[in-house]
Amino acid sequence: MIKTTVTNLNIIKLKQHLEFAFESFGIKSRILQDIALMKYFSVPTNKIWTINVLVGHEKAAFANLIEQEMYIDSKILKVNYLTLVYVYPKHRGKKLVSYIIDEVERVSLEHNHSASFVIARKAVKDLYYKFGYHGFSIFPEIKLNTKSMVIEDKKNNISKLEEIASTYEATYSKITGSLVRNGQYWESINSYAKQGIINISALRLNKQFAYMIIKDSVLIEAAGDLNIMTNLVNKLAIKNFKILKSHPLGNYIISNGGNYYLRPEIKEGHLLRPFNNSENIFDKYIIKPNEISTISSKKMVMNINLLNEW
């Protein structure tokens, strides 16, 4: 007999569950574990659902479902992320993920989530596509064909997180697919910077301000005054960018010799499934097979920022 349970764990039990999940997924770095815990703790526990699948009395699979607010067409909608989906080795091949998806459907409808998002690794192939999830991410990248300098000062701590947060909101609230971030979420990002995993650079000129976040010499996020952003790009000699061309900085980079590359994924990568009659909102962002050859001219695109992934 197969049954499911869905619970909102308290902080202590959630931490225990996550530590077990880290072990199951082979996440051994204590630093990465602690940062992940901080990110989870930025979400109220009643907005995190742990789904367990039982075969008889034995736990056979589990997953987490996390409610988030996302900017879609400059509006804030409630969505959820399906993450840490794990099936125990002895129970694989029993189609247990279908039971998890049933609970995702139930929670999404019950809590009025507009869509469910999942990141499908290549190992699972088109599994989630079969359950009604569709690819939307184009995995954008812009490259400048000039010699790049090494970015130094990998470890830093930005003290003015509130200003960075408000600057992020001003820019990314207009970029579909961006998450609404609270203070604790920003603290988890700042922890990445403290550990040297990312570099946060900020600059103020007169009354204008901008910041950018760089990982492995690639710009993954930038917001604020365009002139200051371009100043930082030149100052840091950044040559690789993972941003949309619709980003305020995108056109500048392309007009200055940047080549725009796309890697659209239909059945893998970042996927979404609309709920609660929101198909009309998301349909224009879903990548359809007949659009692959013309994807660079597709007007309505969205992408999940690396720091907004779950």
Q: What is the pLDDT of residues 287-303, one digit of tens each?
A: 998 888 888 777 789 99
d(CA 154, CA 193): 8
- Answer whether 2-135+265-292 and 141-261 agree in fold: yes
What percentage of the chain has pLDDT greater than the value 90? 82
Q: What is the CA radius of gyration of the chain?
A: 20
DSSP H stretches of helix in 45-160: 97-110
Predicted local confidence at residue 154, as pLDDT: 38
* Closest among 179, 81, 63, 67 to 112, alpha carbons compared: 67
> pLDDT-derived band of residue 7, with 50, 70 and 90 as boundaries?
very high
> pLDDT-derived band of residue 159, with 50, 70 and 90 as boundaries?
low
2-135+265-292 is a CATH 3.40.630.30 domain: yes
| pTM strictly above 0.85 | yes
Domain boundaries, the chain: 2-135+265-292, 141-261
Least confident segment among 13-27, 70-84, 94-108, 143-157: 143-157
CATH of domain 141-261: 3.40.630
Predicted local confidence at residue 296, as pLDDT: 79
Q: What is the pLDDT of residues 99-128, one digit of tens each?
A: 999 999 999 999 999 999 999 988 899 999
> pLDDT-derived band of residue 155, with 50, 70 and 90 as boundaries?
very low
**pLDDT above 50: residue 85:** yes
Output the average pLDDT for the chain.
Answer: 92
